[in-house]
Homo-oligomer: A and B are copies of this chain.
Amino acid sequence: MKPIPSFSAFARLFALGVLLVLGAQAYAQTDPLPSWNDGPAKQAIVEFVQATTDQASPKFVPPAERIATFDQDGTLWVSHPMYTQVMFCLERVPAVVKAKPELAKVEPFKTVLSGNREAMAKLSMKDLEKILAATLTGITVDEFNAEVKKWIAEARDHRWKRPYTELTYLPMQEVLKYLRANGYKTYIVTGGGQDFVRVYSEQVYGIPPEQVVGTAGVTKYGYGKEGKPFLIKEPRLLLNDDFAGKPEGIHLMIGRRPYAAFGNSTGDRQMLEYTKTGDGARLSMIVLHDDAEREYAYGPAQGLPDTRVGTFTQALYDEAKQQGWFVISMKNDWKRIFAFEQ
């Protein structure tokens, strides 16, 4: 009788193993997005991934063509009440004025130096452009990278008192990882500065610099001390990666139409449209900031005031519904918003 219990013990162990493996697989298959509440948004993501990666599916997409693009500000991290890059520029003004003291008496630099937040919040787009040009250009690419690297490590936001890099949305980080685990190449396609975002994209999102498409200025190849070559950032725009500039930038930098795109504002409209109107399975999603408690609620689509950043109009909301883009409600679709929350 001895062999039988032994066999049976083996069989039990084996069965347990199978259950563990299947259980783990089942868990992984049913919950790749643990910070998402069940609902149409989560379901759309999972169904899209399943349809495009299953060889038997008519919507199968070969691995080389699996491209997903993500807006950054308001889609991957907090951009309210001010873009992080604008904070960088404002905080860089004293250093720029130190190098060019004549700017101290000239607007808008005078207002920025005053430190008066209320006055700064009222600066016009034209003023902001002057500040951006003064703080983002006229230095070499290497100097700029070093400046951003230092600032992003030290700067803290005003509400959570944390590094900006911790204010990424956990549910979106899960989407990035889920797509990459399924063979998708993930790109940031941002209206923000390409050189700025590239400094931290790998560390913060696992997205290498060459997969960041953004607003880019001309750089000029020249020679510094001892004839060593450098690239200097010129105050001339090459690609305005917003609105129609997003699909144009995607063509320039990637050369393929994305299968999935994520945004949160009118600046993402054309990217979402371009993505969704491709052949086969395409996923366009748009984040609605409707959670005043855990993050922010703003925008005309909810009858709330418009803001300088990330405008979500009623027309955009209507178009999303009409075109089959999915609206992600931060309030209803996201179980957790930040990794630092429990």
- The chain A residues found within 8 Å of chain B, CB to CB, are 64, 67, 141, 185, 194-195, 198, 202, 208-210, 212, 216, 218-221, 228-229, 231, 238-239, 244, 247-248, 251-256, 270, 273-274, 277
Contacts and interface: CB of A to CB of B under 8 A. Distances in A.
Given A244-B221, A252-B238, A254-B209, A229 B273 contact: yes
B251 A219 contact: yes
B64 A253 contact: no
Nearest to A256: B209
B255 A198 contact: yes
14 contacts: A64-B208, A67-B210, A194-B252, A209-B256, A210-B254, A212-B255, A218-B248, A220-B248, A221-B244, A221-B248, A228-B277, A229-B273, A231-B247, A238-B238
B220 A270 contact: no
A289 to B, nearest CB: 26
B229 A270 contact: yes
A256 to B, nearest CB: 6
Contacts of A228: 277
A301 to B, nearest CB: 22
A209 B251 contact: no
A255 B209 CA distance: 6
A221 B272 CA distance: 13
A206 to B, nearest CB: 10
Contacts of A210: 67, 185, 253-256
A274 B176 CA distance: 33
Contact of A64 (B195, B202, B218, B238): B202
Nearest to A255: B209
A327 to B, nearest CB: 20
Contacts of A198: 255
A228 B67 CA distance: 21
B255 A195 contact: yes
A319 B158 CA distance: 54
Nearest to A202: B64
Nearest to A208: B64
Given A209-B255, A220-B248, 18 more contacts: A64-B202, A64-B208, A67-B210, A141-B251, A209-B254, A210-B256, A216-B252, A218-B248, A219-B252, A220-B244, A221-B247, A229-B247, A229-B270, A229-B273, A229-B274, A229-B277, A231-B251, A238-B238
